[in-house]
Amino acid sequence: MGGNCATLNRQEITGSLSHPLAADPFIGLAVIFYSDIVGHVPFRAESSHTMEVRVYVGNLNKSTTQDEINTLFATAGTVTSVDLVMDKGTGASKGFAFVSMPTQEEADKAISMFHDYDLADNKLKVNAAKPRTS
């Protein structure tokens, strides 16, 4: 994962700012540290923001577009993004994509609706995406 990550020391956490805000790039949400007692290890109050659920969509026909995938998966729930994986050299589809949905329930519905679904003469392979690795 790219980007900058600031490190807070104990003085910054428990010092003059009693409620500093830190971004946690590993879990993708803001975390507020509370502590008014010097030397006390603060507890975390996580925001209500939930992480999106990524769904792997494989065995796509090379001619299938991002818009077609979005339209199909929107019938199962809200689609927040579609990432159709393209070959860097040729610009052609590699035959798989990742669809992001806001809830696990919507992702599960899409998986059950579209695994082995016929799209453009191909049977789709749809399942929960594996976590990204660095």
The per-residue pLDDT for range 62-90, each reduced to its tens digit, is 999 999 999 999 999 999 999 999 999 99
Of 24, 1, 51, residue with least CA distance to 33:
24
Distance of CA 11 to the CA centre of its chain: 33
φ and ψ of 68, to 5 deg: -65, -40
- Can you read off the two tokens belonging to residue 127? 């399942």
- Model confidence at 132, in pLDDT bands (50, 70, 90)? confident
Give the pLDDT confidence score for residue 126 in this predicted structure: 98
Structural domain boundaries in the chain: 10-46, 53-128
How many angstroms separate the CA atoms of 132 and 97, rounded?
A: 14
Pair of tokens at residue 27: 């879990």
- The topology under which CATH files domain 53-128 is Alpha-Beta Plaits (3.30.70)
CB 111 within 8 A of CB 56: no
